Structure 1
Amino acid sequence: MSTEPDEAATELAPGAHVAVLRKERGWSQAKLARKALVSVSLLSKIEIGDRALTPVVAASVGQAMGISMAEVMGKPFVRRGERRSLDALRSALRDYDLPGSAPVLEDKLSADLCTAEEYRKRVDVARLLVVLPQLLRDATAHAHQENTPEAWMVLAETYSIVYWIAARHRWMDMAELAVTRQRWATEQQPNPLGSAVAARDRAGTYLNFGDIERGLTVVDRAICAAQQSLSGTDRDIAMGILNLRGMTLAGRLKDKREARREAERHIRSALAASQGMPRELEAYGLTVGPQNTFAHRFATLIDLGKPRDALALTEDIPTAMAGMPPTRVAPTHINAARAQLDIGDRDGALTNLTLAWDIAPQMARIHPMGREVFRVLGSLHQRSNARLLRLSKLSGIRL
């Protein structure tokens, strides 16, 4: 497989990338605005950096251009040292039914999976990409050799990690393949909770493509299945992770009245599921509980155009997210920066964006909204700012 970088990759922030995509097609701003059902004024502000490109608008632009929302946001460049690992991961994905013959030690496999999960939690993308190819091959061989529910779920969890890293980079072909393999693994031996996790990740691919309605259908079907097949803590975990995904999807529906109604439905269900959890619980690498419910509710309110309501949920994000992994804390600070930008609090937005970079720099580098908020802050600030200059060097986005 070629190790050449993806031609669709870009270091541009999403709003600036929209302008490039539009000009490649020879379209005027008026033509794109008309096709995407947005105002020319809004599109112009997004392209020059006076307004942030939101997921809802990105999905509309993608539909107008015939591409996915992920493609509108732009794929980050694969660094030279990462290309070999990426090729190895794609090769391991292809060989899902071609397990190696060498025996795999269960203790080593368990330890390697824990290492990969720790890299994911810390958002150490570089190290995660290095260990994933061999982990996937070992998990594949172990599942075929043992053919137990536990072995197949180790493989399914590994595929979930592959989905996570692919979705973060907007490698949507890999993300779709990973969730397909994940579901296949859960079906080899009955595991209702594993099926709920797989459905949650599958719905995530619809989220990244901007196909919100179908993503919600996947979630609702999985909720019905989990209600029928699970009980106790497993049922609470399934209801939690599925309704968290549901509220995120609902917040991005174009019809804002329907978005509010559907989001509230999933928020209520997620809150109900987390009420019996005194702390965050983990299942197959995912976290569910009061804090993660707060983080998702916070983000959903912002997507619904209610930044003040989101910020009113807490005045102290570090305390609200204490003990949560960087993979959840950093995006919450990015969302807070977006909300503060929406209400005109530029200094607060810059503070939260800086915190996100300090907590998880590798995530901030590839996070589309993090890059977009920084671009808008750089455009709006009329004077030199040391923190902006520092983030400019880290992000690779020029002021």
Structure 2
Amino acid sequence: MYSTVYWLAARHRWMGLAEVAVARQRWAVEQKPNPVGEALAARDRAGTYLNFGAVETGLTVVDRAVAQARNSLSGVERAYAVGILNLRGMTLAGRLKDKTEARREADRHIRSARAAADEFGGDRTIHGLIFGPANTATHVLATHIDLGKPREAAVMGRDLPRVLEGLPLTRFAPAHINLARAQLDLGDRDGALDNLTTAWQAAPELARIHPMGREVFRVISPLHRRSNPQLLRLSKLSGIRL
């Protein structure tokens, strides 16, 4: 429950509520031994550091939690806990200012996440969070963009329809938003607009509050003719005036 409250609060940028949710979540998992719950709480706590730009501290939280999960869990539970922590870790790593260190840290978490996903098997949801090879791939795509590697992200995007099969719309929309980011970096503004439109059509409520989606729209809108019907529709859905 606290993890869901954190997720909603972070998406809406209600940062005070997000911090309260994470604090209550940490308290809750301390009431009864639950190593998987502790991994989830650490993931969300690291997320608050990501939201405030303290990525180094967030990475420290993730690494400590990964070590604890490896020592206290086994089998599928260990793969799940380590994997979801690695997904947070690669996102944090991609935001490091030192891009040499960012690539090194991101590669470490990507390798670990892929290994955990292989051990875990197909994508499925536990405690409200989905993990598996496909969801890992969507996070890797986003991390490539953060690392300044849009071409690698665009190459991954060619296989995106297959990767997204069976994933919830909460993963579908961000994946298309991130592909739009890569295409925008590569100068493919028509492709970026198409993927942004796909994201908004699939999950308009999420796309409307997604910070990257709104930023891509703000960048892309001056590059198109104001009479473009796709642009006009997105303007209406997003609430951002042209």
- TM-score bin (small chain): over 0.9
Identify which of 222, 232, 241 aligns with 2:84: 241
1:180 aligns with 2:23: yes
Identify which of 50, 64, 71 aligns with 1:207: 50
Residue 144 of structure 2 aligns with which residue?
301
1:268-318 CA distances to partner (integer Å, 9 max, x unpaired)?
000110112331132210111001100100000000010101111241422
State the shift of 1:324 in Å: 0.3
Q: Which has the higher contact order (CA 8 A, sep 6+)?
A: 1
Residue 5 of structure 1 aligns with which residue?
none
Identify which of 156, 160, 174 aligns with 1:331: 174
1:384 aligns with 2:227: yes
Residue 103 of structure 2 aligns with which residue?
260
Query: Does the CA-based 8 Å contact 1:250-1:262 persist in structure 2?
Result: yes
**Cα distance between partner residues in 1 of 2:23 and 2:121:** 33
What SS is found at the alignment partner of 2:199? helix
Residue 3 of structure 2 aligns with which residue?
160
Residue 49 of structure 1 aligns with which residue?
none
1:34-87 CA distances to partner (integer Å, 9 max, x unpaired)?
xxxxxxxxxxxxxxxxxxxxxxxxxxxxxxxxxxxxxxxxxxxxxxxxxxxxxx
Residue 393 of structure 1 aligns with which residue?
236
1:102-122 CA distances to partner (integer Å, 9 max, x unpaired)?
xxxxxxxxxxxxxxxxxxxxx
Query: Does the CA-based 8 Å contact 1:346-1:377 persist in structure 2?
Result: yes
**Cα distance between partner residues in 2 of 1:237 and 1:350:** 35
State the shift of 1:382 in Å: 4.0
Query: Does the CA-based 8 Å contact 2:173-2:198 persist in structure 1?
Result: yes
What SS is found at the alignment partner of 1:258? helix
Residue type of the alignment partner of 1:264: D
1:219-276 CA distances to partner (integer Å, 9 max, x unpaired)?
0010111111001110000110000000000000000000000000000000110112
State the shift of 1:383 in Å: 5.4
Residue 13 of structure 2 aligns with which residue?
170
What SS is found at the alignment partner of 2:156? coil
Residue type of the alignment partner of 2:73: L
State the shift of 1:372 in Å: 1.0
1:320 aligns with 2:168: no
What SS is found at the alignment partner of 1:287? strand
**Cα distance between partner residues in 2 of 1:277 and 1:172:** 32
1:361 aligns with 2:204: yes
Structure 2 residue runs of 5 or longer lacking an equivalent are none
User: Which of the pair is proportionally richer in helix?
Assistant: 2
State the shift of 1:398 in Å: 1.2
Taking structure 1 as the reference length, the TM-score comes to: 0.60
Residue 282 of structure 1 aligns with which residue?
125
**Cα distance between partner residues in 2 of 1:302 and 1:373:** 13
**Cα distance between partner residues in 2 of 1:336 and 1:315:** 10
Query: Does the CA-based 8 Å contact 2:226-2:232 persist in structure 1?
Result: no
**Cα distance between partner residues in 1 of 2:189 and 2:227:** 14
State the shift of 1:186 in Å: 0.6
**Cα distance between partner residues in 2 of 1:371 and 1:383:** 17
What SS is found at the alignment partner of 1:344? coil
Residue type of the alignment partner of 1:212: V
Residue 370 of structure 1 aligns with which residue?
213
Query: Does the CA-based 8 Å contact 1:378-1:388 persist in structure 2?
Result: yes
1:151-198 CA distances to partner (integer Å, 9 max, x unpaired)?
xxxxxxx01110010000111111011011011101100000110011
Q: Which has the larger radius of gyration?
A: 1
Query: Does the CA-based 8 Å contact 1:314-1:320 persist in structure 2?
Result: no
**Cα distance between partner residues in 1 of 2:28 and 2:49:** 20
Identify which of 315, 326, 343 aligns with 2:186: 343
Residue type of the alignment partner of 2:237: L
What SS is found at the alignment partner of 2:193? helix
